[in-house]
Amino acid sequence: MNKLISICILLLISYQVSAQKNTIKKMTEKIKKSESEWKSELSTQEYYVLREKGTDKPSQEGYTSHFEKGTYHCNACNSQLFASNSKFESHCGWPSFDDAIEGTVTYIKDVTHGMIRTEIICASCDSHLGHIFDDGPQETTGKRYCINTSSITFKKK
C-alpha cells in the first residue's frame, strides 16, 4: 500500500513539473530595443501610436473595414495578436476584435484624459495597441478591442 501511495505521489509531482515546463515554454519572449532603434524602424505615425501611446484618427480606411482571412500582427515586432475570425464591424472608426490570441497582449489600467479604461499593449515589445471596452458582441466575449490601424499589420492565410 505504501508503495502505491509513493508511486502516486511521484506521478503527481512529475505531472506538476511537466505542466510548469509547458507553461514556461508558452511565455512571450520580450523584445528589447532602445527608443532610437524603434524610431529608426517605424514610420513617424507608427512611432507616435506604438511607442508614444498616440491614437490614429478614426476612419473606414486601413484595417477598419478589412475582413480577409488571416492574422493581425504587431506592427513593431511582428508578433501575432488577433485572428481574423475575432474581427467585427463596430462602426467606431478603428479596427475592432472581440478577443486576442491568448498571451499576446498585456492589460494596463489607463487613467489619462479624464477617463478610467484599460490599455492593451503587445506582450512581446510593450508597444501600445489601443484599448479594450465592454461594448463588444454579447454573443461572443462582450469585449471590443479597439485597435489603432498603425499598430497592426495583416498576414493573409
> Comparing C-alpha atoms, which of 124, 122, 115, 113 is closest to residue 145?
122
- Res 31: pLDDT: 93
As given in the structure block, the three cell numbers for residue 77 are 515586432
Annotate 15-82 with DSSP letters as a single string: HHHHHHHHHHHHSPPP----HHHHHHHS-HHHHHHHTT---PPP-STTTTT---SEEEEETTT--EEE
Q: Which residue of the set 77, 122, 125, 146 is catalytic?
A: 146
Domains of the chain with bracketed CATH: 35-156 (2.170.150.20)
What pLDDT score does 61 carry?
A: 82
Which regions in the chain score pLDDT beneath 70?
1-28
The terminus-to-terminus CA distance of the chain in angstroms comes to 56
Is 146 among the catalytic positions? yes
C-alpha cell at 47: 512611432
**pLDDT at residue 130, as a whole number:** 97
- Give the β-pairing of 96-97 and 105-110: unpaired
